[in-house]
């Protein structure tokens, strides 16, 4: 399968100073209903220069995308297109590719880059902002739902600092696929409409080791009700611009939390509480599916409780509580898998501190943060009971399982999926071998072993059997029929996740000119809980070649 090159809105030889073309209303692309509240209701930067600079007293800077050479549509998500009332015929058009490459603009779009700050790796970093993302505007669909469209990799903005505002194909493929994979897993997330490659080359130092290389460029169109993040509020509190902070908060309440009522100190407190609750729900989902965000800076935390900014993420292959996929985090491991709940709360503390000027009292902030803790613990307990096929599970049963999974290299996804096949209904009549047999493929062989034998032996094997018998007793006590138990477990334990090694294979093929694996992976990930017999290879645990290969084990923030 080959991607299609568009002929609409193509720039000339140089793209550095070109502007996108404006399409005529209804010509080649349907009229969308834009209602751009962010730029209409909030203060903007009066300066339209692309030059990197400090932007004061403004929530955004108007900026146009920079066109690219030879844009080609690699893939699109038809589910997201439907959210925008876009047909498949429209998605196949040259105009669609041109618009979502940044080469053309549809009537009603008002492009801008948002201003925000953030704490990065626990340290205040000052102004950050959309350095390679440009929002096109907010679309209201036929059902009245609001969707912000944002191009990632569309060119430099005033917030690009030392970067060029572009994105490379490898990181764009990862973001496109993972956005949709998470949505189909049932994890709150931003979405991805399209992935467009270009013939422009982008230079990146992938591991910040002084060895940059030229890579193919790409652009992803991200879609969400809003891309507001904790940093959109932190920046104005840090600068003492309380008037702007108030306007951003009131805007957020009005458009995204209208059920909470009119702005007032108690309303701001109720809003913070809801953000804490949503964030707890989000992180519990991450832990459920073994997802590690990799860069949980406050500027990467959505105010709506969505997974946002897919950079050096990774799904656990073998269950390692200390795993971080981010090379920048390799020493401190601040964003390791097991620390994500604590980091999320730390980030919420920083948001709470930013809102203090509007709330004016400490106890409401403490109450909101307590809601985070209580919600996360309840959600974590509920999810892991469901993963075990139980209505409720003793904390000690779950904790012991986590110890066992980390005791030897155990593939988290495979283990929980195969656990549904363990014949626990046989009780004491089941032999040790019968209990362990369905789990055999979940264990990696020892790294120094050349026989391919499982690493589950000795004390680890004995402890696992003991746990399985205790688990079997819990299942028996609840009395759930075996068939129903398996159905319930398979509905919450995915068979397919976007392993880094799978993403890397798709990247390798796409960089060689064949996007077919990107499209096939997208289709597989649409049905993560289903049996897909013809695609079993995508459900296998990590191959040995991927253990330490760049892009498969750890990644950097470079894109």
- What gap in Å lies between CA 142 and CA 124, rounded to an integer? 41
- What gap in Å lies between CA 311 and CA 166, rounded to an integer? 14
Retrieve residue 519's tokens. Answer: 């499209």
Retrieve residue 198's tokens. Answer: 């270009």
Please, which residues bridge with residue 134 across strands? 151
Residues in Cβ contact with 299 at an 8 Å cutoff, skipping those fewer than 6 apart: 116, 117, 118, 119, 120, 125, 128, 229, 230, 231, 234, 309
* 94, 299, 309, 320: the active-site residue: 299
Retrieve residue 119's tokens. Answer: 């704490």
- What gap in Å lies between CA 266 and CA 273, rounded to an integer? 10
The per-residue DSSP string of 374-423 comes to HHHHHHHHHHHHHHTT-SS--HHHHHHHHHHHHHTTBBHHHHHHHHTTS-
Closest CA to 349 of 374, 369, 375, 377: 369
Q: Which residue has the tokens 């509580």?
A: 321
Residues in Cβ contact with 12 at an 8 Å cutoff, skipping those fewer than 6 apart: 18
The values of phi and psi at residue 58, to 5°, are: -135, 145
Q: How many CB atoms lie within 10 A of CB 271?
A: 23
Closest CA to 357 of 232, 439, 259, 245: 245
- Assess whether 299 carries a catalytic annotation: yes
- What gap in Å lies between CA 143 and CA 161, rounded to an integer? 39
Residues noted as catalytic: 299
């Amino acid at each position: 399968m080959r991607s299609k090159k568009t002929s609409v809105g193509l720039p000339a030889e140089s793209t550095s100073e070109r502007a996108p073309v404006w399409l005529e209303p209804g010509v080649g692309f349907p009229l969308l209903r834009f209602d751009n509240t962010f730029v209409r209701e909030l203060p903007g930067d009066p300066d339209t220069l692309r030059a990197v600079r400090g932007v004061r007293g403004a929530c955004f800077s108007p900026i146009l995308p920079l066109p690219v050479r030879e844009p080609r549509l690699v893939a699109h998500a038809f589910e997201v297109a439907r959210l925008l009332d876009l047909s498949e015929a429209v998605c196949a058009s040259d105009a669609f590719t041109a618009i979502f490459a940044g080469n053309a603009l549809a009537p009603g779009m008002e492009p801008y880059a948002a201003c925000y700050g953030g704490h990065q790796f626990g340290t205040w970093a000052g102004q950050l902002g959309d350095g390679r993302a440009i929002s096109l505007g907010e679309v209201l669909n036929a059902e009245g739902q609001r969707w912000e469209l944002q191009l990632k990799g569309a060119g430099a903005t005033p917030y690009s600092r030392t970067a060029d505002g572009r994105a490379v194909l490898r990181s764009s493929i990862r973001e496109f696929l993972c956005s949709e994979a998470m949505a189909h897993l049932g994890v709150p997330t931003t979405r991805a409409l399209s992935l467009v490659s270009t013939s422009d080359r982008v230079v990146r130092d992938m591991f910040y080791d002084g060895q940059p290389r030229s890579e193919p460029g790409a652009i992803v169109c991200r879609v969400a009700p809003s891309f507001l993040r904790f940093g959109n509020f932190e920046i104005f509190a840090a600068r003492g611009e309380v008037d702007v902070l108030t306007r951003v908060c009131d805007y957020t309440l009005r458009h995204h939390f209208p059920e909470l009522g009119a702005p007032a100190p108690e309303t701001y407190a109720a809003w913070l509480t809801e953000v804490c609750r949503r964030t707890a729900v989000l992180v519990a989902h991450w832990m459920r599916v073994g997802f590690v965000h990799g860069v949980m800076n406050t500027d990467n935390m959505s105010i709506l409780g969505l997974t946002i900014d897919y950079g050096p993420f990774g799904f656990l292959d073998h269950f390692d509580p200390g795993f971080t996929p981010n090379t920048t985090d390799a020493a401190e491991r601040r964003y390791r898998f097991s620390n994500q709940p604590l980091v999320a709360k730390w980030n919420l503390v920083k948001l709470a501190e930013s809102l203090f000027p509007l709330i004016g009292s400490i106890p409401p902030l403490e109450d909101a943060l307590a809601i985070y803790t209580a919600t996360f613990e309840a959600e974590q307990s509920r999810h892991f009971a469901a993963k075990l096929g139980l209505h409720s599970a003793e904390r000690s049963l779950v904790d012991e399982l986590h110890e066992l999974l980390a005791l030897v290299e155990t593939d988290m996804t495979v283990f929980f999926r195969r656990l549904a096949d363990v014949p626990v209904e046989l009780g004491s009549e089941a032999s040790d071998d019968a209990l362990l047999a369905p789990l055999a493929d979940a264990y990696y062989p020892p790294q120094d072993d050349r026989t391919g034998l499982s690493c589950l032996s000795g004390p680890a094997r004995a402890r696992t059997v003991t746990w399985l018998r205790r688990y079997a007793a819990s299942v028996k006590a609840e009395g759930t029929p075996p068939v129903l138990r398996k159905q319930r477990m398979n509905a919450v334990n995915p068979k397919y996740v976007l392993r880094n090694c799978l993403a890397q294979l798709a990247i390798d093929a796409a960089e060689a000119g064949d996007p077919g694996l990107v499209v096939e992976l997208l289709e597989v990930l649409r049905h993560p809980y289903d049996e897909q017999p013809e695609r079993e290879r995508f459900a296998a645990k990590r191959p040995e070649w991927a253990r330490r290969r760049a892009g498969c084990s750890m990644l950097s923030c470079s894109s």
